[in-house]
């Protein structure tokens, strides 16, 4: 299952809820303000790193770049462009957006 998070972990609990509910083998894609979770020092860095042992985590490159965060991404988080976003949606039978 693909989980898409678009809210900052500092504003909403969408990222924490996603991490709590996502099952082993899931994929998480961070977009829009959700990319703040992908940065070193974020409020969910520890939980996100722990989840990465069982899940793949991606961040949308254009959203990272728009926020000037492309150099502060947590090691192990893969960066994708819009074509990669489409590929992730196509590869996953189910998609859950966390608002």
Residue 99 pLDDT > 90: no
What gap in Å lies between CA 93 and CA 39, rounded to an integer?
Answer: 28
Read off the tokens for 78. Answer: 């893969």
Percent share of the chain, pLDDT over 90: 98
**Assigned CATH class of 2-98:** alpha beta
Going through 1-99 in order, the beta strands assigned E by DSSP cover 2-5, 27-30, 56-60, 78-80, 95-98
The full set of domain ranges for the chain reads 2-98
Determine contact, residues 68/36, Cβ cutoff 8 Å.
no
C-beta of residue 48 within 8 angstroms of C-beta of residue 57: yes
What is the rounded average pLDDT for all residues in the chain? 96
- Reported as half-sphere exposure (CB side, CA atoms, 13 A), residue 44 has a value of 25
Please write the tens of the pLDDT for every residue from 47-92. 999 999 999 999 999 999 999 998 999 999 999 999 999 999 999 9
């Amino acid at each position: 299952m693909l989980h898409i998070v678009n809210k900052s972990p500092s504003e909403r609990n969408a990222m924490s809820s996603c991490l709590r509910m996502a099952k082993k083998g899931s994929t998480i894609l961070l977009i829009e303000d959700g990319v703040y979770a992908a940065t070193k020092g974020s409020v969910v860095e520890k939980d996100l790193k722990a989840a990465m042992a069982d899940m793949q985590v991606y961040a949308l490159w254009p959203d990272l770049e728009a926020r000037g965060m492309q150099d502060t991404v947590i090691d192990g988080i893969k960066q994708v462009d819009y074509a990669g976003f489409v590929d992730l949606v196509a590869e996953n039978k189910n998609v859950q957006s966390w608002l």
